[in-house]
A and B are shown apart, each in its own frame.
Chain A
Amino acid sequence: MGKVEILRAGPLASVQDLGRAERREGIPSGGALDLFAARVANLLVGNPEETALLEITLGGLRLRFGDHRAVAWCGGVFPARIAEMEFSAGRPTFVRRGEEVEFDPPTRGCRAWLAIAGGVDVPVVLGSRSTDLRSGFGGCEGRALRDGDCLSLAKTSIAKTESPRPAPWSAPLQWTQTAERVPILRFLRGSEWDEFVPEAQIALLRQPFTVSAQSNRMGARLEGPKLKRTNDWELSSEAVVPGTVQVAHDGQPILLLGDCQTIGGYPKIAHVITVDLAKAAQLRPNDTVRFEEVTLAEAGTLFTERENDLRRFRVGLALRRV
């Protein structure tokens, strides 16, 4: 069995997969904050889409591999290297035994997902290998990776070390480089949209918001025009999901991400659509973000188109491996 050593963990790196379905017990869905990027990265190295991989936050990560492995990553704009050679996003590359893989801080965006052929072999907890950092379970001992950690890698077919490095092909750029200068997040109206004053609705549609430093895997706090409600009724807590934009008592929106709690009592002004959670996962403090309203039908079409593209990509990959 192979292994990978974490020589330097950086600000926050953790083991993630596609998350859990245990909300009934109050457990966040979790998993990679950009599930689509994690699926693509896994496909690139020949893994099933749900294989456990590494989520890298703001770079600063250095790894050393114990055997030959194919690796690939998707996410923000990170300068990355394998044995001092450029390691670009979306391009599967072989790393040889003893070689180091390094991620510098991103020039744009916040997170990257690094898939390793075979996958990170940590125990399955409540149906997933993802790390729940807040409650401290899953992944590597329920915590972020530390300098000196050593992760086991699951068995994989032997990497073809004679293959060209990097591969002469890559995944579509819009899947592998998801950070934008001023991302526009498309949204659906939330159930309390009508309870906000017209100025608040217009502000969400037209004004930029800034990502606050108080942001994490649970959510991105945004700062901008105060979003006022027409009343101050206490709401009965109900389900929230990654993408929900809730407005706290101070009138500032919070965009919930993968590790968000399962229920919440703040009014929901909007929901960022599933395909744009990729952009939401790249927000880092001081970034500017804008919102644009779409219909439920448009959100569905965008999702279906992306899935169809992924299906074609998968067929292409299978042909390449024959």
Chain B
Amino acid sequence: MTTEILPLGDSALIVRVGDSLGDILTVAQKLEAAQLPGVVEVVPAFASVAVFLQSPESLESCAASVPAVLRRRGPLARTTHALRSIEVPVCYDPEFALDLEAVAQHCAISPNEVAMRHAGGRYQVRCVGFTPGFPYLSGLPAALATPRRATPRTSVPAGSVAIGGGQTGIYPLRSPGGWNIIGRTPLRLFDLTRQPAALFAPGDRLRFVVISREEFGRWEK
């Protein structure tokens, strides 16, 4: 694993790791376990891990310590994480699937086929960001890749399952968004009464399970 350490402004570091999720989670875990002085948070992204610092005063010493921390032999990515597998019910009904037709046209298959292939995929959470609790998922079947909408929507309903380029994700909260909406889940992805509030964490495995409009209604209750 080759890594590159870069400052991100004067109060954070980026450790670029390449795009293996296993490597990213291992690096994040080692950095967290090291409890380097002045580190506030360690946050994984797609091909890097960010280390947020209390202040610019810790930057130099932290950057100097990172290579040794990464060389440490340690346990691999948290086993509990590696095993976590979550089923996500999704309703692909036209009422929710605002862009299913458009995606079907782009992919030159039927809307039903888009839903079946999407639900048939095996996904993994690459990182959580954009909005609170938003999971970026890898594993979208290549045939379903669809460019983002030319004009983003100003308001995407909470729970919307969407495709943006070669990725798929779920909007946890009502927010603006440019991805193509192909369904909706009744699960609450971000819930302040829960600890942690975000349902997903990087490394989680995920499967979509098709539900009907009626089942969606029952879930909501």
Task: Evaluate whether A241 and B47 lie within 8 angstroms (CB atoms) in the complex, with A23-B52, A25-B196, A300-B56 already known.
Answer: no
* Extra A-B contacts (4), CB below 8 Å, given A24-B43, A239-B12: A26-B130, A237-B127, A263-B45, A296-B56
* B14 partner, pick from A191, A272, A296, A300, beta carbons under 8 A: A191
Name which residue of chain B comes closest to A245, CB basis.
Answer: B9
B112 within 8 A of A: no
Residues of chain B in range 165-200 having any CB-CB distance to chain A below 8 Å? 173, 175, 190, 192, 196-198
Question: Are A299 and B129 in contact, with the CB atoms below 8 A?
Answer: no
Is the CB of B132 closer than 8 A to any CB of chain A?
yes
A262 to B133, CA, bound (A): 11
Closest to B128 in A: A26
Q: Does B156 contact A (CB under 8 A)?
A: no
Partner of B129, one of A132, A135, A262, A274: A262
Q: A274 to B9, Cβ gap below 8 A?
A: yes
List A residues at the B interface (Cβ < 8 Å).
21-27, 125-126, 132, 134-137, 188, 191, 236-241, 243-244, 261-263, 268, 271-274, 296, 299-300, 303-304, 307
Neighbour of A303 across the interface among B7, B57, B130, CB < 8 A = B57
Q: Is B215 interfacial (CB-CB < 8 Å)?
A: no
Taking CB atoms, residues of chain B closer than 8 Å to A23 are: 41, 43, 50, 52, 129
Task: Judge whether B40 and A21 touch: CB under 8 Å.
Answer: yes
Inter-subunit contact A271/B129 (CB<8 Å): no
Q: How many A-B contacts at CB < 8 Å in the complex?
A: 128
CA A237 – CA B43 in complex, angstroms? 13
Q: Across the interface, do A303 and B129 meet the contact criterion of CB distance under 8 Å? A: no
Instruction: Establish whether residues A135 and B132, one from each chain, have CB atoms under 8 Å apart when the complex forms.
Output: yes
Q: In the complex, which of the residues B19, B42, B55, B131 contacts A134, with contact meaning CB atoms closer than 8 Å?
A: B131
**B8 CB-CB contact with A under 8 Å:** yes
A134 cross-chain contacts in B, Cβ below 8 A: 131, 175
Whether B60 sits at the interface, judged by CB under 8 Å, is: yes
- Residue of A134, A188, A236, A304 with most chain B CB atoms under a 10 A cut-off: A236
Give A268 to B8 CA distance when docked, in angstroms.
9
> Could you tell me if A24 and B12 are in contact, using CB atoms closer than 8 angstroms?
no
Residues of B within 8 Å of A272, CB to CB, are 9
Given the interface contacts A134-B175, A238-B48, A300-B57, does A26 sit within 8 Å of B196 by beta carbon? Answer: no
- What are the residues of chain A within 8 A of B209 when measuring CB–CB? none
Contact of A237 among B46, B56, B57, B132 (CB under 8 A): B46
